[in-house]
A and B are shown apart, each in its own frame.
Chain A
Amino acid sequence: MAVAITDALPPKRRSKSAEAKRYGFFPGCVAKESCTELFNSTLLLADKLGIELVELTAASCCGASVLNDVNRDVARVLNARTYAQAEALGLDDVITICSTCTGHMRAANKELLEDESRMEQANGILGKFNTSYKGTVSVRHLLWMLIDDIGLDELSKMVVNPLKGLKVAPFYGCHIIRPESVNGWESARNPHSLEDLITALGGEPVDYAGKTRCCGFHVQLEKDGIAANMVGQNMRIAKDAGAEAVLTPCPLCHLALDGYQADSAARWGRTDLPTFHLPQLVALALGVDATRLGLKRHVISPGPVLQAHDLAPMHVA
């Protein structure tokens, strides 16, 4: 299928951070709270790849797509403060490990860089505590960094524990692809970076209609059953297409997919697909000790499928 949009994208530049293998790191709230396995496996993967992730420890929440509902400008100013911290450390890339952080931080950055009045507004407020944002930061997801800066060929050479025969359904999470005007790293309608990565790790990507759909995380508390149904709908299609596991770059998707499949079974049938965080599966293939990846912290244990494919013994999950 021809994908016209990606053809028109500007060539990808190599950042100072990529040259120095030293990146600003924005873990986001969920990786520091309920999904600490994501935070830990990201650091283990970085170690394996020989790159330094400098955590922005004074950073605030990105706004999580919710803060816009109370004020149009506050998330942008909070994110400008985060970028200023990266600049102060001499870092021009901020690496995220959450689709929602990626989309909302990029949207804020785009507004700051494209609209002088918004940059002035932000710096006016940051000035109250002697901070300013110069506009030199790019927000990039770990997935993009792996593909652009390390490279799929290089990654596949580093694989010591290939995911041989493991059928993995990619689940992108909305905010890493949409809106395309904000993300634009790949086609939003037909992304394939996760498939490419799964292939490079020796696994088999599963093609299914749900991969770019929504997990329902953001409306799980607004009305009973909505998120569970959205999860069930997508996991049913994935399972029917032959998937044995799911891979997602977003911890919000992970929480919904991992948590709600038990509730969605009544309407959509049992699916029980274990849902890996992006760095967990990459680290596993690159030979990081599976017991350190927090695989026991999943509601749906990945143990059986890992054991069936000889990737890790049952007891690690």
Chain B
Amino acid sequence: MGKITLDLFRYDQAVDDEPHRERIDIDFPETSTVLDALEYAKAEVDGSISFRRSCRSAICGSCSMNINGTTGLACKTPIRDVLRADNSVKIDPMPNFEPMKDMVVHMDPFWDKYARLKPYLQPADKDEDHERERRVSPEDMKKLVAVANCVMCATCYALCPVVSVDPSFAGPAAIAYAYRFIEDTRDSKQAERVAQISDDYLWLCAHCYACSYCPKHVDPQDRIIDTKRRSIALGQTDAPGPRHALVVAKTIKQTGMLAENEVIAGTIGRFNFKGLLKVMPLGLRMASKGKIPPLFMHPVQKVEEIRTIFESMEVPVA
């Protein structure tokens, strides 16, 4: 047993104008989890401390919260891994959500984005035979198991830097779930699902891998990449995101290098004058300091080898 201080975010939306912090000292073993410590504090010190929890074993996905600045499941976080020098643990609600009471947040935006996906199978023959078993081969199932482990704890959504500046972004979990239905051989709405998730800014993912902290190893960042690839294969290419990917591929194939100038023009659209005008101020700021990428990229040595790789693998390019 040791003295541990829980440095808690306290707030009740129904009565408080502003949140405040409260420090609660408990005698508690460092080998326990953060959730155990919270439950102990609630039982022994202050019954009004509020947080969501149920299974205590990383299955229900209820207890995600911000612990010393990073978000994760309290039931899966040992205290000794996060104890600060002064033997305290700072606990806050998940960021990117509106706080309701202490660590409890309003989850509605997260669920709304999930619901928009129509997260249920829509087979082509759904009205014909309700009793028939629809089988999936083990090979096809492999693609779906990672997402099937998702417990919808919203850790990825809370960690996502794009959600933090643009709440219209679907967020990692919703895109991972879209992938799970798009790749399910029993589903018939692949094209509709890809179009819908593209509208929900699939391509706004910043490639930051913050969602690689997923406590259930769903790896949403890889599912996002898979979904982008599928959307290109299905012909959803008329947007800055897919144009960017395809023009990057084109310049690497031609020169071996990612040719910055051509990629900027190709992503915005060479004849999209309004779009080009918008990047002008930044372009001029950079140009005034001599930061001008070469207008003509000289191919790297043995560039023909690079072209052989692209051609052997039938890589789509702009």
Contacts and interface: CB of A to CB of B under 8 A. Distances in A.
Interface of A: 1-4, 29-30, 32-35, 57-61, 63-74, 77-78, 81, 103, 125, 128-129, 131, 174-175, 178-181, 188-189, 209, 213-214, 216-219, 221-226, 229-230, 233, 259-260, 262-263, 296-299
Interface of B: 68-70, 78, 80-85, 161-162, 164-166, 201, 203-210, 212-213, 219, 221, 225-226, 228-229, 232, 240-242, 244-246, 248-249, 252, 256-260, 264, 267-268, 278-279, 281-282, 285-286, 289-294, 297, 300-302, 304-306, 308-310, 312-313, 315-317
Given A30-B260, A69-B225, A180-B212, 7 more contacts: A33-B293, A67-B245, A67-B248, A67-B252, A81-B306, A230-B164, A299-B291
A155 B69 CA distance: 31
B286 A226 contact: no
A214 B209 CA distance: 9
Contacts, number: 206
B96 to A, nearest CB: 12
A4 B11 CA distance: 32
Contact of B209 (A57, A178, A217, A263): A178
7 contacts: A1-B68, A34-B293, A66-B249, A68-B229, A213-B161, A221-B264, A226-B166
A222 B232 contact: no
Nearest to B283: A259
B309 A35 contact: no
Contacts of A216: 161-162, 165, 206
Contact of B244 (A129, A188, A209, A221): A221
Given A70-B232, A226-B204, A64 B248 contact: yes
Contacts of A78: 252, 306, 309
A299 B264 contact: no
Contact of A189 (B70, B221, B226, B249): B70
B309 A81 contact: yes
Given A1-B82, A33-B293, A221-B268, A60 B317 contact: no
Nearest to B224: A69
A217 to B, nearest CB: 8
B246 A70 contact: yes
A222 B245 contact: no
A154 B206 CA distance: 37
A125 B204 contact: no
A70 B315 contact: yes
A103 B212 CA distance: 13
Contact of A74 (B69, B228, B310): B310
Nearest to A30: B260
Describe B's contact surface by its main secondary structure. helix
B278 A297 contact: no
A223 B229 contact: no
Given A174-B210, A224-B278, A60 B290 contact: no
Given A221-B268, A222-B204, A125 B308 contact: yes
Contacts of B258: 29, 61, 64, 66
Contact of A174 (B207, B256, B305): B207
B209 A174 contact: yes
Given A174-B207, A222-B240, A259-B286, A2 B81 contact: yes
Question: Which 5 A-B pairs rank lowest in CB-CB distance, beginning with the nearest?
Answer: A214-B208, A178-B209, A179-B212, A229-B165, A58-B301
A258 B32 CA distance: 44
Nearest to B30: A2
Given A58-B300, A69-B232, A129 B85 contact: no
B308 A1 contact: no
Contacts of B210: 174, 178, 213-214
Nearest to A60: B256
A214 B162 CA distance: 9
Contact of B294 (A33, A175, A181, A262): A33
B305 A66 contact: no
B257 A34 contact: no
- Chain A CB count within 10 A is highest, among B82, B229, B258, B300, for B258
A297 B293 CA distance: 12
A214 B246 contact: no
A223 B206 CA distance: 11
- Chain B CB count within 10 A is highest, among A63, A66, A125, A263, for A66
B161 A29 contact: no
A33 B297 CA distance: 9
A183 to B, nearest CB: 10
Contacts of A74: 249, 309-310, 313, 315
A158 B68 CA distance: 36
Contact of A61 (B203, B229, B256, B294): B256
B208 A2 contact: no
A209 B316 CA distance: 39
